[in-house]
Chain A
């Protein structure tokens, strides 16, 4: 990153006015913002809502959530927040008043972001256009309406703190782990949850039939039968880039959005790092796909 910035700087200085100057190195905050997919929840793209001013409904088995306005608007957004407020939100899952956020805001993953990356993200957010638009309140069943319950949830499932690289693994693996676990927060959808909404033990990245908006989220551990164990590294990279599976099918729905918004915009080494990391996970046999239905009712063996 530093090297490319230096190059861009040298380029811009030497070739000011030429094609080189037209391509500034991407801001680190913007890169992280895309990789983390913030806009996926905070922008209501379905209804062509203004960027980051609050998202479309996210239906889950535990209620319908609306990601709030995170533009720098002082009244409706985060315009009055300090950097410390932003750190507390992402790292500890607390709002500036000290109330707990619901884990639909994936702070269980974002807590692993490094200080430098959180700072870069915050600087990027602060530069966005403020939008005067109130956030929609979540629509929750009575039994999860009390935010004090969330301290129990946190005690059970949440360990705050930045990602610590594993010294026994190489740089690519560590980068992939950081991107998949912290920034890309893959597990927020791909890990099944228990009845209290916490990640189920032993099923990390193993898929769920209870994904957001009633979707079935596939098992992305390298299990040969039920996961992506038959995918080659190059095929995972291709999928994260173009959305094409080894069979030539194309991602749809939420994952197509994730690919458009995040993974296709990563650098090729970052996509490769994610693939390396996924293939290194312990394979978990966990079938989530629906059994194919029997052929139509009321017909004899000849189909009449």
Chain B
């Protein structure tokens, strides 16, 4: 029995290694496409949360869900920009890789602002809107330094 478990673990371990290897060999264009899709989702939840907070639509009960999703997406933005994913159909500027520490600082700030937004989202609208605006500013600050408007 014990032996079987050990063999099972070994197989699982090997599968995991295979998975990692497959990831490392991803086509850069696929990584770029993936991150663009994730970022689009990021934007969609920002737009949705914004519409609720500005009173344009009455979905206040969904605000927590949008906030939580934004928190999840923004928990590790640098992971979406691995080495080698700079060449292709991307608007990411070279600084994402060349000035990695600055980039990670920006991402850390966005993560902190998303965390704060989650905490405020359950409370009164005014406080939540203030945290939403701080998160917005953080998105813009990072795009300002690290994303080309179009290229």
Chain A interface residues (CB < 8 Å from chain B): 211, 214-218, 238, 242-257, 259-260, 288-290, 292-293, 295-296
A298 (CB) vs chain B CBs: closest residue = B27
- Chain A nearest CB from B44 CB (Å) reads 6
- Choose from B40, B43, B144 the contact partner of A253 (Cβ within 8 Å): B144
A255 (CB) vs chain B CBs: closest residue = B149
- Chain B nearest CB from A263 CB (Å) reads 12
Q: Would B44 and A252 count as touching, CB distance under 8 A? A: no
Interface hits, B4-51 → A, CB 8 Å: 27, 29-30, 40, 42-48, 50
What separation, in Å, do the CA atoms of A132 and B69 have in the docked complex?
A: 51
What separation, in Å, do the CA atoms of A21 and B114 have in the docked complex?
A: 35
What separation, in Å, do the CA atoms of A252 and B148 have in the docked complex?
A: 6
**Inter-chain contacts of B42 with A (CB < 8 A):** 248
**Inter-chain contacts of B48 with A (CB < 8 A):** 248
Q: Would A247 and B149 count as touching, CB distance under 8 A? A: no
- Choose from A218, A256, A289, A293 the contact partner of B89 (Cβ within 8 Å): A293
User: Which secondary structure dominates where chain A touches chain B?
Assistant: loop
- Chain B nearest CB from A61 CB (Å) reads 15
Count of residues in B whose CB is under 8 Å from the partner chain: 28
Query: Ordered nearest first, which 10 A-B pairs have the shortest CB separation?
Result: A252-B143, A248-B47, A216-B150, A248-B43, A256-B144, A248-B46, A252-B147, A253-B149, A250-B139, A243-B140
**Inter-chain contacts of A244 with B (CB < 8 A):** 46-47, 50, 136, 139
B105: interface (CB < 8 Å): no
Q: Would B29 and A295 count as touching, CB distance under 8 A? A: yes
Q: Would B89 and A251 count as touching, CB distance under 8 A? A: no
Given A247-B43, A248-B42, A253 contacting B136 (CB threshold 8 A): no
Q: List 15 A-B contacts (CB under 8 A).
A: A211-B149, A215-B149, A216-B150, A238-B50, A242-B137, A243-B140, A245-B43, A248-B42, A248-B50, A249-B43, A250-B136, A251-B144, A252-B143, A256-B143, A257-B144
